[in-house]
Amino acid sequence: MTHPRFKTLLFFIAFYGLILGIYSPGISGPFVFDDITNITTNTALRVTDLNFINLTTAALSGEAGPLKRPVAMISFAFNYYFAEGYSAPHFKITNILIQCLNATLVFILSLQLYKTTAVKTGSSTNLKHATAFAFIISLLWAVHPINLTSVLYVVQRMTLLSTLFSLGSIILYLSARNRWVNHSFSWRVAGLFFTGIISLLFALFSKENAVLIPFIILLIELVFYTHEKPWPFIKKLSKKQRLAGIIAIISISTVALFWAIDYAAGGFNSRTFTMLERVLTESRVVCLYIAMIFIPRINSFGLFHDDIILSTSLLSPWTTITSIIFILGLLITAFHYRKKNPLFALGIGWFFIGHLLESTFFPLEIAHEHRNHLPSIGLIIAAISCIPIQKFNYTKNIILIILVSLILASITWIRSNQWSNRYDQAFYETLHHPLSAAAQTTFSSAAGSAGKYNEALMAIKKASQIDPKEIALPIYYQHTLSILKLPITKETQDETLLRIKLNKITATTKLALSEIANCLHKEICEPLRENYIGWINAVILKQPNIAYYYLFKGKAESSLGNNLKALNAFQLALSKDPEYIQPLYEIINILLKNGQILNALTMIEQFKKKNHGIQYPQLIKLENDIKQQPRE
């Protein structure tokens, strides 16, 4: 008879092989969307020497979240160093390996939860049943197509690492909790709790949604451990003490909620929807996620979901209220079965807790599939918990599980193939989401890069028609006309300026302005130079205190040969943000072109004084290079 450990080893070899196999076609794909702003244009990640200053600068160079996500950022720097550049395959292979580790942790967690449930319900703990339960959950989760963007969309390393350390934290907590319950509190228990907290901190500094892990742990406590120490202590408190505790908890929660809402409110200034519209729409979005997990149609998946219609009231569209009723019904059902099937209750609660940050009132984009990376584990646990594993017919059910896994893996593999090159990835995005302006814009750029200029022009025109409020779209349209060497009419420029005047400046607008600013020095963008000055002046008129707009203006003036105006713009950028180093580089480049070496060195010294001697590796290298230049 084959030894159980040998069977487990064979499973994991096949398991990892399957994960690598389904994602391997996508390894050759490009960096996309937010990869550009967070990784490929982030000069701090270009580490050529592994020293403390370089690594610290790289770690703190993130701008995607309030905590800067240093764990993820430093991992990108290591990728750059070992790949000797921005090699997308190296970055993607790292993501796939992290996904393999995550799948292993899902197996361990599922094993722990099954055993804990058996103890709670008083049923026997059968290792064979527990192992089967864990195998099924980890397999279905690992190959599910909803996780593809978390793996092949490089910047979602942040999500992958957050999941990794979050799972580690929960596993360590369960290990400590069960040892405390079965034995007593000891140094080993304290050590496990402490290590779990450290793992949680790593998760937080990978991505901020790990702040929800304590709520998942609290849910586990309420489901499994309410009769275990130290909870009986609460029951011994007097009614007044319990009431005081409840009032304190409600008060703190209310203050925290109002603070979070106030914090989030400012972010809607750059969104095309209100907070209320987002909250209402997210009820439908969460139901969409559930449908994508249980009915994974390939055309429902995509990098962009900006084609989702906004909910403006409970009845507009009518699916808003039905979605809310469905969610409430699911939560009530989970609560009702919390004792009979605690894993079902935990899984449903896990899923919704996992969406509290990114699918509520915070001013994020409406939908992204990677937001389900951790929450989907809960939903799969809930679904599999409904199968009576104790009465499991291994022959019939293993065939069924293998069939379902192969269907999921096949969809993921097909999507992975679609992500194998820039043109195909963008094309299939428009095929699956034809009414997505973001997908059409991405396809326009990809088609232009592939030399398919008519396709590029048609796509950007369609994008502009789909979203008449997005400022970036007429800007990209002019860019496409410039590439095709077609005339840019005064009416086209006037329409662009009118959009800037009437609409909000979104993150997409900022990205478009940044990309075009970096193209202006090239011959292909020469027809845009004068028009760009008009765009950026209109933008600055709306938002006069944003430093990087003056950087963009300086680049535009420089491309026109207006060095004095360019210097003034770069100086204004520095005055708006004294720590903003990029304008300094631009100023120094102009000074060096004019042979003003001493002035360039003076500028560096002034910058260092303003920033209290903070060490910038690229600045140190530039300063050394300047000092080595011959002087007249």
The torsion angle over the Cα atoms of residues 449, 91, 146 and 99, rounded to 10 degrees, is 170
More confident residue, 390 or 537: 537
Instruction: Please give the Cα distance from 60 to 62 (Å, whole number).
Output: 6
Give the type of residue at 242: R
Looking at residue 450, its amino acid is A
The region of weakest confidence among 254-268, 379-393, 399-413 is 379-393
Percent of the chain with pLDDT strictly greater than 90 = 67
- 416-437 pLDDT, tens digit per residue, is 999 999 999 999 999 999 999 9
How far apart are alpha carbons 516 and 519 in whole angstroms? 5
Angle at 432 between CA 427 and CA 437, to 5 degrees: 75
User: pLDDT averaged over the chain?
Assistant: 90
- Span 64-84, average pLDDT: 94
- Label residue 154 by pLDDT band (50, 70, 90): very high
Distance separating alpha carbons of residues 534 and 494, to the nearest angstrom: 10
Q: Which of 173, 169, 246 is nearest to 200 (CA)?
A: 169
pLDDT in the model for residue 237 = 79
Report how far residue 317's alpha carbon sits from residue 330's, in angstroms, rounded to the nearest whole number: 21
What pLDDT shows up at residue 126?
Answer: 75
Preceding omega of 474 cis (within 30 degrees of 0): no
**Does the pLDDT at position 1 exceed 50?**
no
Q: Would you state the pLDDT for residue 389?
A: 67
Most confident segment among 256-270, 316-330, 446-460: 316-330
* 548/489 Cα distance (integer angstroms): 28
What integer is the mean pLDDT of 337-341?
Answer: 91
Whether 254 has a pLDDT exceeding 90, the answer reads yes
Quickly state the pLDDT bin for 615 (edges 50, 70, 90). Answer: low
CA distance 632 to 618: 25
Q: Which residues pair with 590 in a beta bridge?
A: none
> How far, rounded to the nearest angstrom, does the alpha carbon of residue 486 sit from its chain's CA centroid?
38
pTM over 0.75: yes
pLDDT, residue 500, reads 95
Q: Where residue 604 falls among pLDDT bands split at 50, 70, 90?
A: confident
Secondary-structure breakdown of the chain: helix, strand, coil percentages, each rounded to the nearest 5: 75, 0, 25
